[in-house]
Amino acid sequence: MINIAIVGCGAIGSTLARAIDEGKAGEVELAYLFDVIREKAVKLASSLRKRPKVAENISEILSDEKVNVVVEAATPTAVKEYGERVLLAGKDFMVLSVGAFYDQDFYERILRTLKERNVHVYIPSGAISGIDAVKAAAMEHIDKVELVTRKPPVAFKGNEYVKQKGINVDKIEKPVVLFEGTAREAARLFPKGINVALTLGLAGIGADETKVKVIADPTVKKNIHEVHVEGAFGKLTCITQNYPAPENPETSYLAALSAIRTLRQLTERFKVGT
């Protein structure tokens, strides 16, 4: 049995906790919940059949030898704050706020620690499809990886970069390209919404070679990610039209489902897909 601690009890953390509780996430048990807003963890814990402990802080989780995997479902800042400590404590780390890895120094430190401590980082495919094929395609030459992300303008409300560009998202009446550049820059400028850019970059040809276009589109209601890849394998186009998660309209429901499946894969004996 693998013991799990979930850090962040929002949309993804709650969905994952319930899935573990219902036995949908394989042979795993939920040992801890932790949230900077303690009441969120307490409320979630009390709604579950098998009640996990509510941790007071990350150290409580890291000092418990029974915990095998820490799941981050919080923010990119939390990934940076806890990431190395989790791995140094000898625990595997599942990361949802993938955008944190835009910082190359941080990414390289994590890679070194993984090797030193013989532990693992798991990145769920999240809100896009095609990661399986991109990983396989990257075994050979790839000419191009491109992501086009289209979201309703409200999804960009409060984004600093959009504000600095002088764009008022409430006044957008036709599709506006907010950003065109590398996956690394996209993850830096859109820390909340474009985690998938970094996931795609890490799966394929890297964060600097992966091209990203971000569009605020008042004609769409869903978060839409298009992935275009060309290489020695041929060509690939994947379009994912995401419904929002019931508890957080900024998060795609598929991201939470993908986290459940990634956890389940840890104990699956018959594994399908790259």
For position 36 contacting ligand NAD by CB under 6 A, the verdict is yes
Q: How far is the CB of 207 from ligand NAD (least distance, A)?
A: 14
33 neighbors 44 (Cβ within 8 angstroms)? yes
Please select the residue that binds ligand NAD; options are 175, 248, 261, 265, rule is CB under 6 A: 248
Question: Parallel, antiparallel, or unpaired for β 176-182 and 142-151?
Answer: unpaired
d(CA 158, CA 137) in angstroms, rounded, equals 37
User: Per-residue x/- marks for ligand NAD, 70-99, CB under 6 A?
Assistant: ---xxx--x--x--------------xxx-
- Closer to ligand NAD at the Cβ: 86 or 98? 98
Among this protein's residues, is 120 annotated catalytic? no
Please select the residue that binds ligand NAD; options are 127, 138, 169, 172, rule is CB under 6 A: 127
31 neighbors 66 (Cβ within 8 angstroms)? yes
DSSP 172-213: --S-EEEEEEEHHHHHHH-TTT-HHHHHHHHHTT-TTTSEEE
For position 153 contacting ligand NAD by CB under 6 A, the verdict is no
Please report, as residue ranges, which positions from 49 to 68 form the binding site for ligand NAD (by CB under 6 A). Answer: none
- Closer to ligand NAD at the Cβ: 37 or 139? 37
CA 210, distance to chain mean position in Å, is 17
Question: Parallel, antiparallel, or unpaired for β 248-252 and 244-245?
Answer: antiparallel
Catalytic residue (choose from 120, 141, 225, 228): 225
Size of interface with ligand NAD, in residues (CB under 6 A): 30
Question: Parallel, antiparallel, or unpaired for β 234-242 and 223-231?
Answer: antiparallel
**Which of 109-117, 213-221, 229-237, 246-254 is the region at the interface with ligand NAD (rule: CB under 6 A)?**
246-254
CA dist list (Å): 212 to 136, 222, 249: 21, 18, 22
For position 35 contacting ligand NAD by CB under 6 A, the verdict is yes
CA dist list (Å): 271 to 8, 9, 18, 161: 28, 28, 23, 41
Catalytic residues: 225
Where does this chain bind ligand NAD (CB under 6 A)? 7-13, 34-37, 40, 73-75, 78, 81, 96-98, 126-127, 192, 195-196, 199, 248, 251-252, 255
